[in-house]
Structure 1
Amino acid sequence: MATFKAFLVTEDDGQFRQDVVQRSFDALPDNDVLIKVSYSSLNYKDALSASGHKGVTREYPHTPGIDAAGVVVSDRTGRWQPGTEVVVIGYDLGMNTSGGFAEFISVPADWPIQLPDNISLEESMMLGTAGITAAYCLEKLLDNGLVADNGEVLVTGATGGVGAFALTILAQMGFSVVASSGKPEASEWLLELGASRVIDRNEIGTQSSRPMLKSEWAGAVDTVGGHTLENIVKSLKFGASVAACGNVTGADLQMTVFPYILRGVNLLGVASADASRDDRIRAFGKLASMWKPARLRNMVQHVGLRGLSEQIRQMLAGQHQKRVVVDLAKE
C-alpha cells in the first residue's frame, strides 16, 4: 500500500480547505509506532483545527483528530506487538501531530494505551476525549466530597460530549442531575439519558453583578465557562465543588472571592490532554466497566471522512447534538 485515505486541511492565502485525499506514508511524522486506525471521533478542538485555528494547529496541511482507536502495525521499540488493539487519546495527536482522521497514524510508543477489556474499538471512540474528560471531572468531584444525598448536581452544555457523558454516568450512580442546555428540542433526549430536569442555559448563564447567589447546587460539571461558571460558583452549596473543563462561552471570570471564603466552595480545573499515562489507564478502565454508559449507542452518530465537514460546520455553529464517531471504513 503506497498511500492511505486522510481528511486533510490545507491553507491558501489565509483560506482553509477540507478534503478527503490520498496521502503518502512519508507525510506521517517519524515516530516509533504505526497504527492502522479503525475509528476516531469529532471533538470541538478538532473543529477548531479543521477551520484553521492557529492556537490549536500551527502549520498546515494537517490532519485533525485528537482521538484514534486501531491496531498496531509496527513498533520500532518492541514495546507493542503487531495486532495489539490500542487507543490514543490526547497528547499532541491531531493538534500538531497528524491525527486520527486518517487510516494511519504514527505516534511515540508511550502514547497508546491497550484497549481495556469489555469494550470494543468502536465503543472506545464513542467515549474518546469526551468520555475521559467527563471521567476526570467526576473523579475530582467525588474526591472532594460529592455525595448523592447533598442535592442536585448541575451539568452545563449537556448535549455536548462531555456534558452528556457526565450526566448519564452521574444518573447511573444515583445522583439527581439537572441538565442545562440551549437546545429545547433536546430536552426529551436529555431526560432519556437520566436528567431529573432540564433548564434553559440562560437560567444559569446570564451575567449577575451580585457577589453571591442562592445556595443551590451540591456540585456541578461545567463545560462552557464564562458567566455560567461565575454563576455556578456563586450558587454552590457550602463546601461544594464545580469541575470546569471548557470555555466555549468565555475564558474570563469576573467575580469576587466571597463564595470561596464564605461558603468554602471549590473550583476544580480539569485538563485531559496532558493527563498522565496512569490517569488515562485508570479513567478509561472505569469507562469500560462500572462507569460505562448504559445508553452509549443512543449518544452517538456515525460518519465517514466525507461526512466530517458538515459535522464540523454544525459543531462550530452550535447546532451539534450527539457525539460523532468517525468510521474509517465508511465512505
Structure 2
Amino acid sequence: MRAWTQERYGSADALEFAEVERPVPGAREVLVRVHAAAVNAADWHLMRGDPYVARFALGLRRPKERIRGRDFAGVVEAVGDGVTELRTGDEVFGEAPGTFAEYVCAPVAATELKPARTGFAEAAAIPLAGNTALIGVRDLGRARPGARVLVNGASGGVGTFAVQLAKALGAEVTGVCGPRNGQLVLGLGADRVVDYTREDFTASQDRYDLVFDLVGNRSLGELRRILSPTGALVLSGGGVFEGGSVFGPMGLLLKGRLLSKISDRRLHVLTAQPRRENLAVLREFAESGVIAPVIGRTYPLAEADRALRYVEEGHARAKVVLSCLPPSGP
C-alpha cells in the first residue's frame, strides 16, 4: 500500500510517499480501507518533533510512529481476534496512528460506525477535533442553558465543533476569530463574534462561565480575568507563543496544569484521549444535525505534504481533509 512515511524530524520535505507493507490487525483491532483522513495541528507538531520536550514521548532521534495521520473514515476490510462490535464491510470512523495511508489498523476502542448520511470526508473531520470539543465544552466546561461561553479560535477545527456543541447545550456563545471567518462562526450558531485584529477580548468588561482557549496566545492572568466568579477556563493546544520551540504550547499548558492542582480548581488542561463512547455521541449528534463538520480544504492523499504545509501556517479554516481513494475513471 502507499503511505506517507517519515524517518527523521523536519518539515514536510522529510516525508516520503512510499510503498509499505499493508498492516495486519491484531487482537481487538480492525483493518480499515481509508477513504478519507483529516489533517490536524498535532500532525505537523509530530512531523517536526515540536516542541522539543515532546520528543521524550514521541521519539528522541526520530518519530516512533513512521506513518503520519490520526483521523480516518473508511470501510472495515478485516477484523482481529476478539472483535465482535464491528464486522467486514462496516463503514467506520475513528482515531489511530498512521492514517495518511491506504489502509490502517485501528483499535476497536477508538473506532465507531460512521454517521448515517454523512460522507467519508465529513466523518473523517470529526474524531480528534470533535472529541476535544466535546470534552472541553460538555465535560470540563459544563456548558448549560444560559451559560456564557467564549471560544478563542472559533474558526479552527476544534473551534467549529465547540461553537456548535455549546449552542446545542443551550449556551450563549461568543467566538473569537479573524475578520475573514466571522460569518462562518455566526453561521455555526455563535451569538457574537470578536475580531481579534480589532478588539482585545481579554480587556472586555464581559464575563464568561466558560473560556475555551484553543490558541495559546494569551496569558493565564488575561484569560482568568474574564471569567465569572464560578467560571471555568479550559486550555487545549495552541501555538508556540509561550515557551518557544523547546516547550511550545506546553509552557502554558504545564503552568496551567500545575496551578489547577495546587491553587485553581476552575482551570482545566484538556487531554483528549480517543474513546468509542464519545465517538458514539458525536455520531448521534451528526445524524441528528446537532453538529455539521466544516471542511475548509480537501487534498488528495498524494498531496498530504501540501496539506501539512498549509495547516502549519496556522490560519487553516475549519478542517483540512485528505481523500485517500484513487480518482474515479472517466
1:84 aligns with 2:90: yes
Alignment-derived partner of residue 307 in structure 2: 311
The offset of 1:239, in angstroms, is: 0.9
SS in 2 for 1:227: coil
> How many Å separate the matches in 2 of 1:228 and 1:205?
13
Q: How does 1:1-331 map to 2 (within 5 A)?
A: 4-11=1-8, 17-25=14-22, 28=23, 31-32=26-27, 33-53=30-50, 55=54, 57-58=58-59, 59-60=62-63, 62-79=66-83, 80-89=86-95, 93-94=96-97, 99-117=98-116, 119-140=118-139, 143=142, 146-150=143-147, 152-181=148-177, 183-201=178-196, 203-204=199-200, 214=205, 216-225=207-216, 227-248=218-239, 249-250=241-242, 251-253=250-252, 266-272=266-272, 274-278=273-277, 280-290=278-288, 292-294=290-292, 296=293, 298-330=294-326
The 3 A distance-change label for structure 1 pair 237 and 86 is same
Q: CA deviation at 1:20?
A: 2.2
Equivalent AA in structure 2 for residue 72 of structure 1: V
Percentage of identical aligned residues: 23
Indicate conservation of the 8 Å contact 1:77/1:109, yes or no. no
Provide the secondary structure at the position in 2 that maps to 1:11: coil
Task: Assess, with a 3 A threshold, how the Cα gap between structure 1 residues 221 and 113 changes in structure 2: closer, same or farther.
Answer: same
Distance 1:39 1:174, change over 3 A: same
- Give the Cα separation in 2 of the matches to 1:318 and 1:193: 21
1:77-128 deviations in whole A, cap 9, x for unaligned? Answer: 1514221222232xxx33xxxx111011124454423334454433321222
Shift of 1:68: 1.4
Q: What's the RMSD between the two structures over aligned residues? A: 3.5
Alpha-carbon distance, 1:163 to partner = 0.8
TM-score of the two chains, using structure 1 as the length reference: 0.77
Whether the 8 Å contact between 1:42 and 1:323 is mirrored in structure 2 is yes
8 Å Cα contact 1:38/1:328 also seen in 2: yes
Scaled by the length of structure 2, the TM-score of the pair is: 0.77
Amino acid at match of 1:193: L
SS of structure 2 residue aligned to 1:71: strand
Distance 2:173 2:326 in 1: 36
Q: Secondary structure at the match of 1:6?
A: strand
Q: 3-state DSSP class of the match of 1:137?
A: helix
1:149-197 residue CA offsets vs partner (Å, 9 max, x unmatched): 34x421011221011111133335553322112x322223222333333
**What is the letter of the counterpart of residue 84 of structure 1?**
D
- In the aligned structure 1, how far is the partner of 2:183 from the partner of 2:75? 38
Q: Is the 8 A contact 1:215 1:238 kept in 2?
A: no
Structure 1 spans left out of the alignment, 5+ residues: none
Q: What is the distance in 2 between the residues matched to 1:34 and 1:170?
A: 34
Distance of aligned partners of 1:21 and 1:15 in 2 relative to their CA distance in 1, 3 Å threshold: closer
Instruction: Confirm or deny: 8 A CA contact 1:238 1:265 kept in the other structure.
Output: no
Contact 2:109 2:275 in 1 (8 A): no
Distance 2:161 2:76 in 1: 28
Distance 1:118 1:268, change over 3 A: farther
Contact 2:39 2:320 in 1 (8 A): yes
